[in-house]
Amino acid sequence: MTGQRLLIIDHDEATIKFLSLNFQKAGYLVFAATNTKEGLIEAYKNRPHVIILDPQTIDIPLSDFIGRIRKDRRVTKSKLIAFSSLTKPEDIQAINALDINYHLAKESDAFPALHNTVTQAIRDLVSKQPAKITTLPELDTATIISEKVGKIIVFLSAKGGTDTSSICANLAHVCNETKEKEVVVVDLVLPIGSIATIVGYQEAFNITQAAAMKMADISSKFLNDNMYQSEMWNFHLLAGAHNPKQANDLDVSRIPEIIAILKKSFDYIFIDLGRSLSRISLPIIQSADQIVLIISLDEATALLTYSVWEFLQSIGIKKEKVYILINRAVGLEGFSKSEVEEELGVIITNAIPHMGREFTVANNLHRPLISKLPDDAAIIAMRQAIREINQRIEVGN
């Protein structure tokens, strides 16, 4: 990838400095501008392969800027990445309606996903494959859906964090409560996975190492033998990256192949994506049998959830494919269920009741909630959630 040209246009000089330093370390030739007028000059002069643009850096209308890029023969093939801190659904939809190739949320831990997106953009440029955001299902899902055996259940949250990962792990455990199924959990939260910590796994093998191997060396038997398996948790675990460096090294092009292998061996593949809506996660989301959207009702998270829900709809995700689950396990504050339903325009059928400190205690002990509180209302809600998710999958198929 050394020598590829990258242009960063952002009004925040600290962001430019951070991104420039990291992309230069990765071998890119980096150019920068603090406004779109300067950005056009840099683009015409240096002909970047990829342009990273904060949509709020607009001294000229954004549509005019993109129009000039698309019409000028020097940069018409450049890939455009909107790297945005926008949260309002109408603003996000307005950006997605423009002629951009990718749209990522600007977050403190977003560099690994941004780096992977730039890598994919270069690949698309070289192979001359279209990368419009509306055609994402065509990118990688052919490998994922070629074997319809195991069912993919994706966990997504506008907030992310350990709470979401814990719900994912505990629902996977409840799914195989009778130990009659083969269940695997895949941790794709970047830059640092959290499910290994929750279940007490401390060994080295994880998604980054699996993706670095030759495809000929990866088989169902190899993954079964090397993934963590706990009798207590009743599932296999393909752990996430241990640190940001590993996440940065992750070869995301291998993820669909790994998932395809897992589908041949397991009845259920639970995939924890955290809050990721990136080039890595979107093909997986769109190929899932069910998407569990975990929400908490504090004001900030509820507002972010509105944006996530609007975005999912904009890329063609139907309501029937999204199971919205309220997580009140760690708190009681926030909007009411009816207020959120009215805003989202969907019925929320389930909620994890408040558990107080028991939720955190179980995580710290690396134990499933069911082993500590087998008759708690939260466990009853989880069993109901798994039944309803299975029913939705059966109806969908």
Report the predicted TM-score, pTM, of the whole model to 2 decimal places. Answer: 0.61
- Do 364 and 388 belong to one domain? yes
Task: Among 80, 103, 135, identify where a domain stops.
Answer: 135
Angle, CA of 333, 338 and 341, to the nearest 5°: 105
Regarding predicted confidence, which is higher, 340 or 77? 77
HSE-CB for 328 with a 13 A CA cutoff: 16
- Do 303 and 383 belong to one domain? yes
**Beta strands 228-230 and 79-84, pairing class:** unpaired
19-33, 96-110, 117-131, 283-297, range with the lowest pLDDT: 117-131
- Do 345 and 257 belong to one domain? yes
Residue whose entry in the numeric block shows the structure tokens 């990962």: 165
- Do 61 and 34 belong to one domain? yes
For residue 50, the model assigns a pLDDT of 93
- Do 237 and 284 belong to one domain? yes
- Write out the two tokens for 2: 């050394």
Reply yes or no on whether the pLDDT at 333 is more than 70. Answer: no
Task: Among 135, 158, 182, identify where a domain stops.
Answer: 135
Task: Among 83, 104, 135, identify where a domain stops.
Answer: 135
pLDDT digits (tens, 9 = 90+) for 196-253: 999 988 888 899 999 988 877 788 888 888 899 887 898 999 999 988 888 888 888 8
Name beta bridge partners: 352.
Answer: 327
For residue 1, the model assigns a pLDDT of 42
- Do 212 and 253 belong to one domain? yes
Buried-exposed string 338-366: b where 16+ CB fall within 10 A, e elsewhere: eebeeebeeebebbbeebeeebeebbeee
- Do 224 and 321 belong to one domain? yes
Name beta bridge partners: 50.
Answer: 6, 79
Question: In this structure, what CATH number is given to the domain that contains residue 81?
Answer: 3.40.50.2300
- Give the SS3 label for residue 130: coil
Structural domain of 351: 138-396
Regarding predicted confidence, which is higher, 86 or 46? 46
- Do 202 and 275 belong to one domain? yes
Considering the chain, what is the average pLDDT of its residues? 81
**How many folded domains does the chain comprise?**
2
pLDDT digits (tens, 9 = 90+) for 20-54: 999 988 888 899 999 988 999 899 888 899 999 99
- Do 121 and 178 belong to one domain? no
Angstrom distance (rounded) from CA 245 to CA 157: 24
Reply yes or no on whether the pLDDT at 346 is more than 80. Answer: no
- Do 168 and 64 belong to one domain? no
Question: In this structure, what CATH number is given to the domain that contains residue 390?
Answer: 3.40.50.300
Q: In the chain, how long is the greatest CA-to-CA distance?
A: 67
Reply yes or no on whether the pLDDT at 131 is more than 60. Answer: no
For residue 145, the model assigns a pLDDT of 38
Burial class for 79, CB neighbours closer than 10 Å (0-12, 13-18, 19+): buried
- Do 121 and 225 belong to one domain? no
- Do 110 and 185 belong to one domain? no
